[in-house]
Amino acid sequence: MHEVSLCRSLAAAVTRAAGVRRVEAIHVDVGQLRQVVPEAMAHAWTFVVRDTGLDGAALNLTSIPAVLACDACGASAELGPELGFDCHTCGSAQTHLSSGEEFILTAIDVSDPGDRRGEP
């Protein structure tokens, strides 16, 4: 369950960034190669934030495809489970991943207490 430790560090980062503001939702880019299971992540998040200031904050994951870029011919292609790390176009082994390893907190939605002025 590495999702729990991911959620713990996520919760710590969000708490630091949000301060006293109420967090409605957070948005995270997750590369396919991080092997994060969205359902497990959602479950871990609920568990980690329960009874904390982040209780009720929604976790929105965006899956980022793994893309293999070739240094030899410049081609890039999405990495599929059946394909190796050689260039799909020219067969060169001089390739690198241009995406797919992300785990990035991209946005935090907070409700500004000022917005609630005038509400009952």
The window from 36-44, 65-73, 98-106, 110-118 that contacts Zn ion (CB under 5 A) reads 65-73
The window from 1-9, 35-43, 91-99, 101-109 that contacts Zn ion (CB under 5 A) reads 91-99
Question: Could you write out the DSSP letters of every residue in the chain?
Answer: -HHHHHHHHHHHHHHHHHTTSEEEEEEEEEEGGG---HHHHHHHHHHHHTTSTTTT-EEEEEEEPPEEEETTT--EEEPPTT--SS-TTT--S-EEEEES--EEEEEEEEE-GGGGTT--
Instruction: Tell me: does residue 90 bind Zn ion (CB under 5 A).
Output: yes
Instruction: Tell me: does residue 89 bind Zn ion (CB under 5 A).
Output: yes
Would you say 47 or 85 has its CB closer to Zn ion?
85
Please select the residue that binds Zn ion; options are 73, 97, 105, 108, rule is CB under 5 A: 73
Amino acid found at 57: A
Instruction: Tell me: does residue 62 bind Zn ion (CB under 5 A).
Output: no
Please select the residue that binds Zn ion; options are 13, 37, 58, 72, rule is CB under 5 A: 72
Residues in the site for Zn ion, rule: CB under 5 A?
Answer: 70, 72-73, 75, 87, 89-90, 92
